[in-house]
Amino acid sequence: MDEVAAFMTTRLVVVRDDADLTACALKLLDHDFRHLPVVDEEGALVGVLADIEVFARIGFTSLDEPALAVLEPGADELTAGALCRPARVVSSPTANLLPVLRRMLSERSDCVLVVSDDKPVGILTEHDALRLAQAQVDSRLATRHCGTQPVLTVPLDCSVARAWQIMTAAGIRHLCVTDEVGVLRGVISHRDLVREGAESEAPVQALLGHQLVWTVDRTATLPEVTRWMIAGRVGCIPVVNDQDRPLSVITRTDVIDALVGALEEGELFVDHEAV
């Protein structure tokens, strides 16, 4: 039975619990991370700091003013230890992979902290699971069998501030942007809104620029979608019809759910060379 250690990322970037939020924000941006393990002076795990928690308080005021700014009164006095939360899923390096992935799904967590002697030694992220899913998910499984429906969309003239409210209320990290006839024009992410400034009244159309929109039709297989997610480092891919109108959205969670099913049916066989 395969262990978590075989698939986790071991090159950890951590922050001390007394680090200020600006320093945390810079680390998240510099490494393009979504999580930072928080440790005490002994190196023991205190919790996990999520980017969405940091950037709700410390972020950019606009793309034209790239300096970080305090968005919430008193945020400049907060520390990583004060804002972090207990990790939803914690595992030992020798734990069996499948139960850990099941917990990851049931807890709606996008990472697993791997701990030995109370100290973080690795992290299993959605991206790590995607690499495994690429080799394990049934190539006959088409996108029409999974995905989020209906698709939550915003118009081109929706303000960044309103998009932030919608994204936060729905607990999602991506929104499809459509024109007046429902044709997909792009996808905006939580990170896009952070860089623009959560209180900006600029239209989301300004964030799209010349972005490449990764889409598939209903005949695409889940392993194909997974490959494109890995190649483009994107968290979701819209499924569109012949008129480029979004039908559903395939997220990393959908792929991990299919991976768990594949591992259960395959009796936990993992082809390490394929991964």
Give the domain ranges of the chain: 4-128, 143-259
pLDDT given for residue 211 in this prediction: 67
pLDDT given for residue 65 in this prediction: 47
pLDDT given for residue 72 in this prediction: 73
The sign of the dihedral angle between the CA atoms of 166, 200, 77, 46 is positive
pLDDT given for residue 103 in this prediction: 94
DSSP 147: S
Q: Which CATH class is domain 143-259?
A: alpha beta
pLDDT given for residue 113 in this prediction: 95
pLDDT given for residue 268 in this prediction: 45
Whether the domain at 4-128 and the domain at 143-259 fall into the same CATH topology: yes
Distance (Å, rounded) from C-alpha 92 to C-alpha 138?
Answer: 29
Distance (Å, rounded) from C-alpha 159 to C-alpha 161?
Answer: 5
Q: Which residue has the tokens 């159309």?
A: 205
Average pLDDT by stretches of 10, the chain with 275 residues: 87 94 88 90 95 78 56 81 94 94 90 95 90 76 68 94 90 91 92 77 87 83 86 88 92 87 66 46
Query: What residue spans of 33-189 are helical by DSSP H?
Result: 51-55, 80-83, 97-106, 126-136, 160-170
Homologous superfamily in CATH for domain 4-128: CBS-domain (3.10.580.10)
pLDDT given for residue 140 in this prediction: 64
